[in-house]
Amino acid sequence: MAMLNDPSGGPGMHIDMSNAVDMKCEKCEWKTFKNTHLIKTISALVSPSGKDMIIPIPVFACEKCGHVNNEFLKNEFEE
Ligand SMILES: [Zn+2]
């Protein structure tokens, strides 16, 4: 899923919000999310820099139960 950063959709793009659906938490169906981070670590063996790396990944977590939907997770590092 592509992330829409500009709610207006940018020039020449019209989003009909009546077609937009609320994303819900997979676990509790809550509809609001907070910004948080996954922290990935890469060992020196496979790191491009040859050193252990810590990589924070911004994700959205359910505000009620803290669950991070799979949809947000699989968005990262997609090749
Ligand atoms: Zn939840």
Q: Residues 28-39: what's their mean pLDDT?
A: 95
Report every protein residue that has its C-beta within 5 angstroms of ion ligand 1.
25, 27-28, 30, 62, 64-65, 67
Residues listed for the chain: 79
**Helices and strands counted in the chain (H then E):** 1, 2
How many whole angstroms from 38 Cα to the centroid of ligand 1? 16
Confidence (pTM): 0.63
Domain ranges of the chain: 25-74
pLDDT, tens digit (0-9, with 9 covering 90-100), for 40-60? 999 999 999 999 999 998 999
What tokens were used for 49?
């820099």
How many whole angstroms from 31 Cα to the centroid of ligand 1? 8
